Amino acid sequence: MLEGFLAEQGWEATSAIAQLTSSWAEIVGPEVAEHVAIESVGDGELHLRADSTAWATQMRLLSDSILDRVQGVVGSESVTSVSVRGPQAPSWRAGPRVVKGRGPRDTYG
């Protein structure tokens, strides 16, 4: 009954993504879920964000098996590929205006 309603409204993909995010720790295990999070899902691609470059490299090596597990939960139509990104570098921008130049440097000397 619920599946029919979701199909009628066109919400199958949204439901599959919600199921994926809620069961992420069960899919990849609690240790991996502690270091790697789902950033977004769009156009069939699952974007993951790792908290270190080591975890990002490990997840890239395991991306095929992660894709198989994810497709087992949400189906092969919802997610067709996995991309893994490492941690983001800090931004030195402090406001909406930017001055072109060398950026932060030692001026104490």
Question: For the residues of 64-92, what is the DSSP string, one character each?
Answer: HHHHHHHHHHH-TTT--EEEEE-PPPPP-
Q: Is there a domain that residue 94 lies in?
A: no
% residues pLDDT > 70 (the chain): 79
27-71: pLDDT as tens digits: 999 999 999 999 988 888 999 999 999 999 999 999 999 999 999
CB 27 within 8 A of CB 69: yes
Alpha-carbon gap, residue 75 to 7, rounded angstroms: 14
Q: Is there a domain that residue 16 lies in?
A: no
Residue ranges making up the domain that contains 78 = 30-88
Q: Is there a domain that residue 83 lies in?
A: yes
pLDDT at 61: 96
Give me the number of domains the chain comprises. 1
Q: Is there a domain that residue 74 lies in?
A: yes
Q: Is there a domain that residue 24 lies in?
A: no
pLDDT at residue 72 greater than cutoff 80 = yes
> What confidence category does residue 98 fall into, taking pLDDT thresholds of 50, 70 and 90?
confident
Helix (H, G, I), strand (E, B) or coil at 47: strand
Which among 74, 79, 72, 71 is positioned nearest to 42, based on CA atoms?
79
